[in-house]
A and B are shown apart, each in its own frame.
Chain A
Amino acid sequence: MAAALGTGGRGQEAGQEKQAMQHKDPIAPERAEELKLKAKYPNLAQKPGGSDFLMKRLQKGQKYFDSGDYNMAKAKMKNKQLPSAGPDKNLVTGDHIPTPQDLPQRKSSLVTSKLAGARSTSILIGP
């Protein structure tokens, strides 16, 4: 089961080349990038690992004003994604108490993943 990689570069040699370059100037690329960033954003906080930064990370997710706001946003998204369905002509109402068999099947409001769809390419490995 253990298999050596047959193709591809010799990692060690490339590594040594990089090492040579870096010994000339070990942190130059990173520091140069830092200067670029500071030039663009002079008000940037000194410590990126500081508590503000981490607090932002803890609070990911879209904030809504309230649940009504959230439900409106969801409804708007759903309308965009699904094709509009016409009025259901088979709906049985009014003259008798419906039984489970009479009611129309609940329409799936969720779309199946394209990974499971018929359009995915699946190449048969033939002789």
Chain B
Amino acid sequence: MAVIWCFSQVKGAVDDDVAEADIISTVEFNHSGELLATGDKGGRVVIFQQEQENKTQSHSRGEYNVYSTFQSHEPEFDYLKSLEIEEKINKIRWLPQKNAAQFLLSTNDKTIKLWKISERDKRPEGYNLKEEDGRYRDPTTVTTLRVPVFRPMDLMVEASPRRIFANAHTYHINSISINSDYETYLSADDLRINLWHLEITDRSFNIVDIKPANMEELTEVITAAEFHPNSCNTFVYSSSKGTIRLCDMRASALCDRHSKLFEEPEDPSNRSFFSEIISSISDVKFSHSGRYMMTRDYLSVKIWDLNMENRPVETYQVHEYLRSKLCSLYENDCIFDKFECCWNGSDSIVMTGSYNNFFRMFDRNTKRDITLEASRENNKPRTVLKPRKVCASGKRKKDEISVDSLDFNKKILHTAWHPKENIIAVATTNNLYIFQDKMN
């Protein structure tokens, strides 16, 4: 069955003048797909909830509406280094649901917080010493005792910080990942990875440390890390040199020595000034099955079989036409953009973003790929998204866009795929788009 993507919703301001705080920095569905969280540069988290499916609207899925919003992190100042600590939310990861409340981890550069999001739809009424509006009654006027009762009230969603995991990272946190044991999680910065217990905030174990004794010898940094979805002893971390290391926590307390090293051999005669920069991995994600992992570097997406270290099993070019623009992309810093990538629920399709508000999907089975655009031009309900094509050189066909007309300020760095359905969330600079497959 072929997937045809349609516009569903767009969230955020229409105006072109984007405040820095509104720049979306992370997007994540929870494990059921019912909740969708976004984090922004202003340290705020907005959670959307999918409406229950309407029986009369059987040809569409519920739309996502605001469920809760809160200020997760605030700007801080590191007094020792005289450096600002940004409040930007780098990552959000949901915990699997254990009870009525929802829990998520959100992190900025230095501090990870565990947030509890709970619903309140009843409130106690009939206190003896307080009026309904909270004012205290004059005790001398109280002549009888009554038992307060719970009465229904309008749904209120409250977010409260339950744990604050601070002061464990000298460098900037780029990843957090919850272990399949649902008790521990890892946090990774440029040079170190720490293991935490969700209940314990005053202690954390360092499990990877690649800081050289002499900083002059620094050759690579950690760019992303993730726990294996099923094996609670296994995690991977990627580097700025394009390698991925798989570590087994059973082997030793400090996992500086990897169990597996994934690296694609490169012909040394092919190296250029840009080779290392564009090989830097910006994201690593395990497949849901746990058999594969996907990495994103500047120009491509690679799928690795965990059983084969010497090369990826699949490579997909995201925007190969940019290879002849690397000079200007280096000058405007775009070459350092960190694109993320994601799997669909069945691990058959992978998705990643590009420039000009384009995003790409690759079907691993049919080997077909598609380029779509997140734009307000397709605002009408259930509009089918038209595939886009970039013309690298030569004669530009009608409806194609030439490389030189691409808007490099319109980057799609963050995308997310619903864990079970064909619903995707795509973040442009300050807007969140939700697309669905065409039903019936």
Interface residues of A (CB under 8 A from B): 1-12, 15, 18, 26-27, 29-34, 36-38, 40, 44, 47-51, 54-55, 57-67, 69-71, 74, 81, 101, 110-117, 119-127
Q: Assess the A33–B44 pair: CB atoms within 8 A.
A: no
Q: Does B3 make an interface contact (CB < 8 A)?
A: yes
Q: Assess the A113–B275 pair: CB atoms within 8 A.
A: no
Q: Assess the A2–B365 pair: CB atoms within 8 A.
A: yes
For the complex, what is the distance from the CA of A86 to the CA of B63, rounded to whole Å?
41
Q: Assess the A48–B276 pair: CB atoms within 8 A.
A: yes
Q: Does B154 make an interface contact (CB < 8 A)?
A: no
For the complex, what is the distance from the CA of A127 to the CA of B6, rounded to whole Å?
15
Q: Does B203 make an interface contact (CB < 8 A)?
A: no
For the complex, what is the distance from the CA of A127 to the CA of B235, rounded to whole Å?
46
Least Cβ–Cβ distance between A100 and chain B, in angstroms: 9
For the complex, what is the distance from the CA of A59 to the CA of B379, rounded to whole Å?
42
Q: Does B4 make an interface contact (CB < 8 A)?
A: yes
Which A residues lie within 8 Å of B10 (CB)? Answer: 120-123
Residues 10-42 of B at the A interface (beta carbon under 8 Å): 10-14, 19, 21-22, 24, 38, 40, 42
Q: How many residues of B contact A (CB 8 A)?
A: 100
- Can you pick out 7 interface pairs between chain A and chain B where the beta carbons lie within 8 Å of each other? A4-B366, A7-B4, A70-B82, A114-B13, A121-B379, A122-B65, A123-B381
Q: Does B348 make an interface contact (CB < 8 A)?
A: yes
Q: Assess the A55–B215 pair: CB atoms within 8 A.
A: yes
For the complex, what is the distance from the CA of A97 to the CA of B369, rounded to whole Å?
70
For the complex, what is the distance from the CA of A3 to the CA of B111, rounded to whole Å?
40
For the complex, what is the distance from the CA of A110 to the CA of B8, rounded to whole Å?
30
Q: Does B361 make an interface contact (CB < 8 A)?
A: yes
For the complex, what is the distance from the CA of A30 to the CA of B299, rounded to whole Å?
12
A33 and B327 contact, Cβ closer than 8 Å, known pairs A3-B422, A123-B380: yes
Q: Assess the B387–A8 pair: CB atoms within 8 A.
A: yes
Q: Assess the B380–A5 pair: CB atoms within 8 A.
A: no
Q: Assess the B327–A37 pair: CB atoms within 8 A.
A: yes
For the complex, what is the distance from the CA of A70 to the CA of B77, rounded to whole Å?
8
Closest to A47 in B: B276
Known: A3-B363, A38-B273, A114-B430. 13 other contacts (CB 8 A): A7-B2, A9-B368, A10-B367, A18-B320, A27-B269, A34-B273, A51-B218, A81-B19, A101-B134, A113-B22, A114-B12, A115-B24, A121-B376
Q: Assess the B277–A48 pair: CB atoms within 8 A.
A: yes
Q: Does B290 make an interface contact (CB < 8 A)?
A: no
Which A residues lie within 8 Å of B8 (CB)? Answer: 123, 125
For the complex, what is the distance from the CA of A34 to the CA of B46, rounded to whole Å?
42
Which A residues lie within 8 Å of B369 (CB)? Answer: 5, 8-9, 11
List the 5 shortest-distance A-B pairs measured between CB atoms, nearest first.
A6-B2, A8-B370, A29-B324, A11-B369, A125-B60
Closest to B323 in A: A29
A115 and B12 contact, Cβ closer than 8 Å, known pairs A8-B370, A74-B75: yes
Q: Assess the B3–A127 pair: CB atoms within 8 A.
A: no
Which B residues lie within 8 Å of A70 (CB)? Answer: 77, 82, 84
For the complex, what is the distance from the CA of A57 to the CA of B221, rounded to whole Å?
9
For the complex, what is the distance from the CA of A124 to the CA of B430, rounded to whole Å?
21
Q: Assess the B327–A36 pair: CB atoms within 8 A.
A: yes
Which B residues lie within 8 Å of A112 (CB)? Answer: 44, 69
Which A residues lie within 8 Å of B370 (CB)? Answer: 5, 7-9
Q: Does B423 make an interface contact (CB < 8 A)?
A: no
Closest to B430 in A: A114
Q: Assess the A114–B22 pair: CB atoms within 8 A.
A: yes
Which B residues lie within 8 Å of A125 (CB)? Answer: 8, 57, 60, 63, 381-382
Which A residues lie within 8 Å of B368 (CB)? Answer: 4-5, 8-11
